[in-house]
Structure 1
Amino acid sequence: MQNRKITIAPSIMCADLCNLEKSVREIEREGLDTLHIDIIDGYFSPSMPLGIDTVKQLRKITDMNFDVHIMSNNNEYFIQEMLQIGVQQISFHLETSTHIDRFIQLIKKNNTKVGVALNPATPLSVLDYVLPQVDAVLLMLINPGFATDKNEKQVSYAVKKVEDLYRLIKENGFEKRIEVDGRVSLDTISSLVRAGADTLVAGSTSLFISNKSLAENKKIVEKAILEGLYEEVK
């Protein structure tokens, strides 16, 4: 496990939404190559931080990998829109999908990586037939879209769920990435990495902590990642 590549994916909704290009340039300067973009319909989750046209404009100004997380009751519409924009990975929620296999194939035939997302309490058993087909599984560790509620904590079983998913992947001989999203904080990163997480969606409790610069926060995040990788091989 110690040779895993850990990806820090800054959540653009936690950046300066009034100065998005400036925020993207700052992220690029720190050598980060993946941008996590939440697409929310206002029904699946109460917030709607970014619209489709904003993502189109972002695509024009950066070559960063766009890791899109769709939180919607109408997944196909947003999948089609994101494919037209040209993103690198699309994750959609199994809880709101009827035609899961069709969505997976739609994304894959456009040479885009596909992930399936699970709410905190959704059991891993829903992955029984789809896990072989996907590139990644995105585990929500808080209820989707409620990140602005600073009182909401990461679910108590977050690390166990990552461990269970990692075990499931390895027991089947798969190579799938585990993405974690929701209060992926300086306090929890090392334990999530140790459990098997590969992609860390970094937001207001890690990369965008307001009293430090992005560069300072990145160094602390990287230190926590190394601690997690070190602990797993001791």
Structure 2
Amino acid sequence: MKEIKIAPSLMCCDFLNLNNEIKDLEKSGVDLFHIDIMDGNFVDNFAMSGTEIKAIKRITNIPLDVHLMIKEPLRYIKYFADAGADIITVHIEACTHIDRILQEIKNNKVKVGVALNPGTSHLLLEPVANYIDVVLIMAVNPGFAGQDFIPSSINKVKKTRDFLNSLGFNNVEIEVDGHIDTQTIPPLYNAGASIFVAGTAGLFYGDRDYKENIKKLRDCI
């Protein structure tokens, strides 16, 4: 039985208290910090930058999972790698030359992630599967927290897992972002996902008892 990894979405933190938020999340036993970068172009929202990544990198040893929701990501791969990203995930929909971009991520000695929007087929991964460390399945349309879970995401995770295994890439991890809570983790986990981006649905809610909320997310499987 594989262990799950919990990756808090830092865009849901209290930014006026970010240092303490990160320390509290660390103590709660998180595995990654998920950092959304939005340019107001690829998605209709803005979020975070290399400045925040550099600051976060100075205060934590938890790996930084940087999700680029931006157009023309090739221009910024080195920038985010130098800022401290441990994983850089790009959207296949934003990449005209996906092979070149994934090579650039590899060349900067950072793990490679490829994100798929809800309407994007997993079959597009085949030509570049040899580069990929993580496939990020969006279970909501990207850009905003608090959206409803798209039920077809479960079958998409299963198809993606089976497809990667059929190509011999059993070690590629599947990550899911979008309304992750104690109800959605079990079917996604059973379908083949192992990394879960926790936002307002499963972690940053109520009195924000991170230790208890993360325990609930782990225990639900």
Question: By the TM > 0.5 criterion, same fold?
Answer: yes
Q: CA deviation at 1:33?
A: 3.3
Match for residue 159 of structure 1? 154
What corresponds to 1:197 in structure 2?
193
1:171 corresponds in structure 2 to 166
Indicate conservation of the 8 Å contact 1:35/1:67, yes or no: yes
Q: How does 1:31-42 map to 2 (within 5 A)?
A: 31-42=29-40
Cα-to-partner distance string for 1:163-193 (whole Å, 9 max, x where unaligned): 1011111222212100100111221111111
Give the structure-2-normalised TM-score: 0.95
Counterpart for residue 87 of structure 1: 85
- 1:139-158 equivalences in 2 (<5 Å): 139-147=137-145, 150=146, 152-158=147-153
**What whole-Å deviation, never above 9, does each CA across 1:182-220 have from its counterpart, x for those lacking one?**
111221111111111011001111121223511110111
Aligned partners of 1:70 and 1:78 also within 8 Å: no
Aligned Cα root-mean-square deviation (Å): 1.3
Q: Which residue of 1 aligns with 2:204?
A: 208
Distance across 2 between alignment mates of 1:184 and 1:172: 28
Task: Pick which of 44-53 and 17-26 moved more.
Answer: 44-53
SS at match of 2:67: strand
> For residues 155 and 36 of structure 2, what CA distance do their matches in structure 1 show?
25
Structure 2 Cα separation of the partners of residues 13 and 210 of structure 1: 17
Partner Cα distance (2:22, 2:208) in 1: 17
Match of 1:67 in 2: 65
Q: Which 4+ residue blocks in structure 1 deviate beyond 3 angstroms?
A: none
Answer yes or no: is 1:133 the counterpart of 2:93.
no
Give the Å deviation of 1:6. Answer: 1.6
Gaps of 5+ in 2: none
For residue 52 of structure 2, the aligned residue among 46, 54, 57 is 54
How far did 1:91 drift? 0.4
Residue 184 of structure 2 is matched in structure 1 by 188
Aligned equivalents of 2:38 and 2:153: distance in 1?
23
User: Bigger shift: 79-88 or 17-26?
Assistant: 79-88
1:116 to 2:132 alignment: no
Check the 8 A contact 1:186/1:206 in 2, yes or no.
yes
Which runs of no fewer than 5 residues in structure 1 stay unpaired? 228-234
Q: Percent identical across equivalent pairs? A: 38
- SS of match in other structure, 2:136: strand
Alignment-derived partner of residue 219 in structure 2: 223
What letter corresponds to residue 94 of structure 1 in structure 2?
A: I
Q: Using the alignment, how far apart are the partners of 1:202 and 1:163 within structure 2?
A: 20
Between the two proteins, the alignment pairs up a number of residues equal to 220
The one-letter amino acid paired with 1:64 is I
Task: Note the C-alpha offset of 1:156.
Answer: 2.4
- Equivalents in 2 of 1:105, 1:49: separation in Å? 25
Cα deviation code 1:100-152 (max 9, x no counterpart): 111111111222100111101101121121112211110111010122xx4x3
The offset of 1:99, in angstroms, is 1.6
Length-normalised TM-score, structure 1: 0.90
